[in-house]
Amino acid sequence: MGVEGKSLNISSVVKEAAASDGGGTSNGNGKDATSLIPSSSISIDISLPVPEMKPGIIELCKDLFGKWSSLDDSHFSVERVSGGITNLLLKVAVKEASSDYVFLTVRLYGPNTDLVIDRKRELQALPFISAAGFGAELLGLFANGMIQSFISARTLSPSDMSEPKISAEIARQLCKFHQVKVAGSREPKLWSDIFKFLKQAESLEFDDKEKQAKYKTISFKEIRDELNALKNLTDRLDAPVVFAHNDLLSGNLMRNDEEEKLYLIDFEYGSYSYRGYDIANHFNEYAGYDCDYSLYPDREAQYLFLRNYLEPERPHEADDKVVEALYVETNTFRLASHLYWALWAIIQAKVSPIDFDYLSYFFLRYDEYKKQKEDCFSIANEYFSTGSINGYYL
C-alpha cells in the first residue's frame, strides 16, 4: 500500500468480509462489512484551524483505537494535507509506546456535501474497493468523516496526467478498477444522479441579490431538453456498465515515483456507471484548475490511453475498430460530464461555505457543453450511420 511506518491491522478483517461476499450486501455472517469497522459518535468542527482541531482529533483516535487511549497527547501530531471542495484531509502521526510511528489520514466531510454525495453508497462500496487493492484502507468511521491509512506518495498535477507514461499507467489502473464488483444494485446511476441534481438546482433561491439575478438567467427547461437529447444519444451506444470512480481528477491520483506505483483515491462519487463516462470525465480534468479545455487530449493522446485501457498488457495489439468505438463512446459521454458538474455547481453555489464562484463555474461548464455539442453529436451519429467515423476526429 505504500503506507509509511506501521499500519493498523483492522481493515484486513473487512477485506475478508468483502471478499467473501457473494454479491449481496452483507458477509456470510449477515453483517454489513462496514459494521466491522471501529466507529465513534465524535464530530470534528471542520471550520476550526488545525491547531484548534487537534484536541478533538486526538480524542477521536483514542476513542476509535483503544490501544492508544493511555498515550499522552504529546504522542500525536496533526497536519493539513489538502482541502478540497468536499473534503479536508489531515495527516496524523502517532508515536506508540514502542516508539514506532503509525501514520493515518483523517478525512473530514465538507458541510452539506450530503446533497451531492451519497455517503451511504460510498461506505457500502469502500470495503469492496479496498479488498481489490485500491485506495487507502478504511480504518475507522466517525460522525462527519473517516480515518484511513496514509499513502506515501505525491498527488499528481493536471499536467502529469497528460504525460504519456503516466497516462498509460492511469489507463491500466482504471481498467483494473472497472473490474471491481460492489454489492448492491448494479444499475447505472449517472442519469438518475443528474436528474436529481436538476430537480434540486431548479428550485433554489439565493439571498444575495447578485447571485439571484445570475441564477434567474438559467433556463432549466433548456437544460432538461439537452439532458433528454443527450441521454437518448448515449443510450444508443449500449456502453458497458462498470463500477466507476466518477471524479478522476489529478487530486484523486497519487504516485510513488520511487516505486513507480499509481494510486486511485477518494471514491466518494463512485457508483455503477458507464465506462465511457468515467474515461471522458477524466479527460475533461486535463483542463486543470484553470478550466483550460484546450488541454483536452487530442486523438493521439486519447488513443494511447484507450489502447492501454483495452489491452493493458499488450496495448499495441488493441483492435483498431474497438479503439475507435471506445473513442466515440468516450467523446459522447464527454458532454454528460459537463452537464453533471454544471448542475452540481449550482447546488454548491447555494450550500457550500467555500469562497468560490460556483455560479460562474456552472456557466463555464455549460458553455463548454454547448461549444462541444455539435461535434460530439456529429461524430456519434456518423458512427451510428456507417459503423465508422471515417477519419473525422475531434
Bridge partners (DSSP) of residue 141 are 39, 146
**pLDDT band of 389, cuts 50, 70, 90:** confident
Checking if the pLDDT of 22 tops 50, the result is: no
Contact (CB, 8 A) for 258 and 175: no
Per-residue pLDDT, 101? 95
Mean pLDDT of the residues in the chain: 91
Report how far residue 16's alpha carbon sits from residue 36's, in angstroms, rounded to the nearest whole number. 11
Task: Compute the distance between CA of residue 214 and CA of residue 98 in angstroms, rounded to an integer.
Answer: 59
Mean pLDDT of 240-257: 97
Decide if 5 contacts 100 (C-beta within 8 A).
yes
- Which pLDDT does position 23 carry in this prediction? 46
* pLDDT reported for residue 17: 47
Could you tell me the three cell numbers for 158? Answer: 493536471
**Torsion sign across C-alpha atoms 231, 234, 240, 246:** negative
pLDDT of residue 4: 43
pLDDT confidence tier of residue 34, bands split at 50, 70 and 90: confident
Mean per-residue pLDDT for 72-90? 87
CA–CA gap between residue 127 and residue 138 (Å, rounded): 7
Q: What is the reported pLDDT for 319? A: 97
The C-alpha cell at 375 is: 461535434
Q: What is the dihedral of CA 218, 224, 226, 230, to 10 degrees?
A: 150
CB atoms within 10 A of CB 196: 16
Q: According to the model, what pLDDT value does residue 21 have?
A: 54
CA-based end-to-end distance of the chain: 38
- Position 111 scores a pLDDT of 86
81 pLDDT above the threshold of 90: no
The pLDDT, as a whole number, for residue 35 is 77
pLDDT given at position 353: 86
Residue 96, pLDDT above cutoff 80: yes
pLDDT tens digit sequence for 213-238: 999 999 999 999 999 999 999 999 99
Can you tell me whether residue 143 is helix, strand or coil? coil
Burial 224-261 (b: 16+ CB within 10 A, else e): eebbeebeebbeebebebbbbbbbbbbbbbbbeeeeeb
